[in-house]
Every structure is written in C-alpha cells, then in structure tokens.
Structure 1
C-alpha cells in the first residue's frame, strides 16, 4: 500500500476504532502514512482536570516558505447498535462502489484524501515550495477541550506559524463541488432558573408557580427575531432546548423551573452584545408579568454556558480563490460560499490564520451505515491536489 491511494488510506483509518476520546490506533496509522513522505511527526497528549486525556498529532513537511495547514479529527461518534449496520462499522467493507464504516464521511475520509493528495504531489513534483502541516485531533466529536485549541497553542509556542488552513469536514450537501464553508455562526448557550413557591395544586393562592414565569421568559427570547440576517449569514436563531421542573407529583406546584437555550448567531452580534440583549429581554419580561396577578415580578437567574463559539467570516481571497478554482477544475461546478450549519474546530483556527472548510458529501455522517462512494474519494483527492498546487502558486505571487 502507498499513501497515494485514498481508499486504502481510509480503510486503514476506519479499522481503528477511535471513538472519542480513544486514539484507537488512528494516529499511529496516520503517522505511518506521513513519515515516509518526509513529514516530521509529533504526538501530543492534552489534559484538563475533569476531562479525559486526548492524544493529538502534528506533522510538518518543509521548514520555510508559505505554510499551508490541513486540519481535522480522527475521533468518531459511537457506532450505536452495530447489529443495525449492513457491515461491521469498523470493518471498512466495500460494497457496490461504496466504502462503509464509522468515520467514512466525518471525517476520516477527508484526512485519507488529503494524505493521498500530498503524497501524489510529492511523487509528481517533489515537496511543495513551502510547508504543509497536518493538525489532527482526537476530541472534536466530544467536548473539544483537549484537541484543536490546545494543539494549536502547543504548536504556536514551538514557533509554528501558518498562512492558511483547510479543514476537511464534510461540507457538501448533495454532491462534491456544492459548497465551501468560509465562516461559521457563533453559538451561545444558557440556562434560566425561575424561583417560585412550592405548594398544593388545589391551593394556588398559597404558592407561586415558576412554570408560568419560565414560559413568559422563554417566549420573550424566541419572539421577536433577533435580526433578519446579513449578507453572509442567515438570521440568528434561538431555540429553547429543555424545560424542566424535576416534579414527579401531579398535585404539587414546583419550587423552581429551569429552561435551557442555545442561539446560533450571525455577525450582527458579539458574545457581549448578545448576552446584553438576552438579559434585556428577560428583565423586560420578568417585570411585565408576575407568576400570578398581584404578585411580585418573576425572579430568575441565568447561568451561561462554559464557552461560547464566536462568529467568524474568512475573506482571504487567495485561499478562497485557490480552493474554488480547484473545485471547479475537477467537478466543473462553481461551489457556493456558505456559513450554514453548526460549529467546527475552524472556530479555534481562525485566531491563527485564515481558514475554510471543504470535504465530502455529508448525507450519511453519524448515521448507521455511514458510507462514502469510492468515486467521491478519488474526486476529492484530485480537488485537494489541485488546491495544493494552486495555493502555493498563488502564495508565491
């Protein structure tokens, strides 16, 4: 086997059961692919109290010139009920032109293709006139604490600097060439606690029902809309994800009620301005209505999520143009630039260099029978190889 074959690369990676946070042999396999190409490979284990240790990998080819980073993760979500799979989820079976396995799409497939692309480039042209690095982590599907953010910090402290980054997440909704992600919305979470007075459901005048209050407050968060979107982003959207009173008795008015929410926000907002707007809405709603007529305003507290994800938009023309041209040269389709979807580890990378995302079709990611067409692996490898050539050519201008 040579690293120039994306199918063989992916089969090797899938056969490593690297369910977050287990390394599962995936980084060992990746090191074996990269070292023969001339990459200097480092393994780094990140720790944080209260979280599992995570193994990560950083590899670099070259020591000067323009520096292109490829970023991704080898950890995968659990397979679920393995009996429901057509083939064992870590067997990497090929059937009818498709390769089955957990991580085939998200995102071992993208890693396998980029390895094949750089291996082909080295075989045909030698090492790039600059540097290429792999930043591969093991907890993207988990809490994302001991992965990309810490590996970036570790590498930067060693003197690493990057000019651009491509993340190999599955970005295409229907077919390769559909979409490049050139930004991501921010994400902010919180939990509201409304305090009431517990009592008997038959004697409501002796109690204050916090459910009334939590409904008033959550309604104020969901309506009116926070904004109507911008040129690059869809409207910000807040969803109430849980409402709970912890009450198992139907004849007891609960003492308190909680509601959790998450908002995906665009570049109209920063974390600070968004928190201020949420508190303004809650204060207004709490003052406007009590739990019962004639009672005091709603009493509430807000606990914010541990870490917000910040909105970002990449405007680096050389990076976007190189990737767009590479995609169109291989697929004949001009990809759409998009900021839709959830968060990714690009939210950490954007603090170090311009970053975009492009990878496989994501229709089966996280599903039973996750799979990828062999033809798509070859096409993505061709796109990545064309991108490597174009980006280094543009970087020299």
Structure 2
C-alpha cells in the first residue's frame, strides 16, 4: 500500500486535479479506484444513461465478504468554477497556500472522500481495520440532474445482492468549524408552475382581451403571505418561494394570454407531498374565487407539478447517530448539533435503503470562487472518520 494514501491532503490533491465538472469525469473516478484497490476493495465502474441526459460514470467499491456493512457515499462531480480571473489560485491545480488547499470540490465534496480513504488506509496500516464489509458508493451526477447517479447506483448494488446496514454521506455539513453539525435528515422539496390564463389582445382595446396580470398579485399573495407552518420538533418552518414570473411577452402593446409563476417548496414533516399540493391548490382557488364573474375558477389557471419530488426524512436515534456523535466529540471536544437544515442531497435516495447521516468538512466556501479547505481540517476529519469506523463496527458486535 502506498504511504501517500495515509495523507488526506495528497489524496485530495490528486482528486482536485481532475476537472470533473458535471457531467465530465475527467479521470476522477479512475483516480479514486487507484486509491481503493491497494486497500483491498473490489471496484466496479458502472455507467448509467437515460434519454435526453448524458451518460454518467459511477463507482461502487466493496471490501469484505460478511458481517456488518457500512457504506460511505459521495460524489466526485463539481459545479463549474466560473472565470479563472475570480480565483486567486487555479481551480484545478490543488495549490496549497497559507495552510489551505485551493480547488473546485475541495469541500464539496472531494475533501470528504479523500479523508475517508485516508482513514481506511491508516486503520489498514495498523492492522486495525474492523472485520465486516465496507463500501464506497460514489457518483459523478450529484451536482447535475441526479438522474444517472446515486439512485441508479443504489439499485445496481441491491440487484447485485449488496445490503447496507448504515451509510455515512461525506457532504460538507459544518457551518463554521468541524464538530458543529451532523445532518440527520432533510426537508422535502418539490416544484410547480401555476399558469394564469387570460386572452391576448391590444392594450388599446382592453375590453376585447383578458389580462391575467390583474390576477397575479392575488395569487402571489395567497401563495406567499401566510406561512405554511411554524416548524416542527425536528425541522425548521416550511417555505414556498416564487422563483420566476414570466409572460413570454416581449411587446409593450400586447396584453399577454397567460402568465406563469414558478415556485419551489421546502417542506417539513408537517406535510406530505399530497397534502401540500392540496394546500397550494386551495390557496390558488380561494384567491381566484369571484374575481371573474361568470367564469369557472378551474378555467382561470393550470397547474403543473415538476418531478422529481424529494421526500422529507429524519434518521432515528441509534448506533449510526450516536457513534458518529461520540467520534466527533472524542476528536474535537465538541458535541455536534443534530440538524435537518439546508438543501437536498443524495441522502434523499439513500434513506430508502438504510439509515443515513451526513458529516463532512466546513462548507463556508462551497460553490464559491477560491473554494478551499485548511490542511488541519483534513487531518481532523480523517481522525473523526477513523474513530467512527472503529466505534461503529464495535457497536455491531
């Protein structure tokens, strides 16, 4: 085994030099495979595709034949870096400056992968890697449409007979410092488009047209002005956010035939997708009731629900949460907050197969120019992962 695998900074540098902007792999998964094979992992690189989407390479690596099965999940794809001029260091050069390593994906989330590889390598080098099964489930399609990535990789693993007892997802979860936060769940998410119908016409002859913009303010207020809820025990309040309003009309002397309102909802466990859809429709129909005498409310609007829907979930207390919390506290001296805040992640797919939690680096610079991570944080996260591996497998015996 190469001693460089013991160094998370070296592992990360190798991954950062791969410009794996979704959907390009740019050698990232091959680089990871080269790290895992010397550690005894059997590696598969399945490619998934679907009509209208690019083919995506993925990685499933498994070590061990029997016993408790722990999965580490993540992604090697990254968002575009933007103009090089916005970076003080090249985004794919893995430059170290003032104790930090720069690069797109440093914290989201090649750094987490690099640290978990180093943790496994350190335990292996000491002959202390626990008995059982250990997997890496890594996609190249998390930052993109997420169609040919984790959801299909999980199905592939299940069809091959692999069952995971628990999963750690290495997304950056800490707001300010390592030890701040473990994500034990996520709010749900879905999107929709409500189109207000009217009749096109000349602005000088409004009596011959029907301007849907006159009803726009009523619907916007109905959707947004009254909170959906006040939050629940584990989750912050649900929120509906209008993201764009569009008539498709570029002329100033034409009354538009319709106006489309696009929105996204992040919802907690007070709702299901079905009850939330019903609430949205109730608000729209209440707002439109009586505004157009002689016309059926159903004729005044059309609703389109966008797929996919991400369900709300929370991982119940148990060895996964407790052993990770204990490991974080043992290394950092801080008991992490158990949180369900933030956006969505691939945990929304993994939770259908096994309990899942998320813990990784500090995310302050993710998706920003000059994304970077402190070398000291890489060492600390590696120590946390190493401690967690030992504790989790011990708790299964």
Aligned to 2:60: 58
Please, which of 99, 102, 125 is the counterpart of residue 100 of structure 1? Answer: 102
Aligned to 1:12: 14
Shift of 1:109: 0.2
Aligned to 1:364: 365
Aligned to 2:120: 118
Aligned to 2:238: 236
Q: For residues 316 and 213 of structure 1, what CA distance do their matches in structure 2 show?
A: 48
| Mapped contact 2:190–2:307 kept (Cα < 8 A) | no
Per-residue deviation, residues 136-161 of structure 1 (Å, max 9, x unmatched)? 00010000000000000000000000
Q: Is the partner of 1:143 in helix, strand or coil?
A: coil
Q: Is the partner of 1:305 in helix, strand or coil?
A: strand
Shift of 1:249: 1.5
| Mapped contact 1:193–1:300 kept (Cα < 8 A) | yes
**How do 1:273-312 residues align onto structure 2 when only pairs under 5 Å count?**
273-290=275-292, 297=297, 299-312=300-313
Q: Is the partner of 2:61 in helix, strand or coil?
A: strand
Aligned to 2:384: 383
Q: How many residues align?
A: 394
What stretches of structure 1 of length at least 5 have no aligned partner? Answer: none
Q: For residues 69 and 107 of structure 2, what CA distance do their matches in structure 1 show?
A: 26
Aligned to 1:144: 146
Q: For residues 245 and 56 of structure 2, what CA distance do their matches in structure 1 show?
A: 33
Per-residue deviation, residues 292-344 of structure 1 (Å, max 9, x unmatched)? x7866461111111211000000141111000000001110110011011000
Q: For residues 124 and 88 of structure 1, what CA distance do their matches in structure 2 show?
A: 36
Q: For residues 48 and 216 of structure 2, what CA distance do their matches in structure 1 show?
A: 40
| Mapped contact 1:57–1:134 kept (Cα < 8 A) | yes
| Mapped contact 2:186–2:312 kept (Cα < 8 A) | yes
| Mapped contact 2:120–2:386 kept (Cα < 8 A) | yes
Aligned to 2:251: 249
Aligned to 1:86: 88
Shift of 1:202: 2.7
| Mapped contact 1:46–1:55 kept (Cα < 8 A) | yes
| Mapped contact 1:316–1:354 kept (Cα < 8 A) | no
Aligned to 1:315: 316
What stretches of structure 2 of length at least 5 have no aligned partner? Answer: none
Aligned to 1:220: 222
CA RMSD across the alignment: 1.2
| Mapped contact 1:214–1:258 kept (Cα < 8 A) | no
User: Which stretch of structure 1 is more off in the superposition, 87-96 or 117-126?
Assistant: 117-126
Q: Is the partner of 2:231 in helix, strand or coil?
A: coil
| Mapped contact 1:191–1:260 kept (Cα < 8 A) | yes
Aligned to 2:346: 345
Q: Is the partner of 2:210 in helix, strand or coil?
A: coil
| Mapped contact 2:73–2:136 kept (Cα < 8 A) | yes
Q: For residues 379 and 252 of structure 2, what CA distance do their matches in structure 1 show?
A: 60
Shift of 1:126: 4.0
TM-score by length of structure 1 reads: 0.97
Please, which of 150, 159, 166 is the counterpart of residue 161 of structure 2? Answer: 159
| Mapped contact 2:129–2:390 kept (Cα < 8 A) | no
Q: Is the partner of 2:289 in helix, strand or coil?
A: helix
Q: For residues 73 and 242 of structure 1, what CA distance do their matches in structure 2 show?
A: 30
Q: Is the partner of 1:153 in helix, strand or coil?
A: helix
**How do 1:41-52 residues align onto structure 2 when only pairs under 5 Å count?**
41-52=43-54
* Alignment partner of 1:132 is 2:104: no
Q: For residues 371 and 83 of structure 1, what CA distance do their matches in structure 2 show?
A: 16
Q: For residues 216 and 36 of structure 2, what CA distance do their matches in structure 1 show?
A: 54
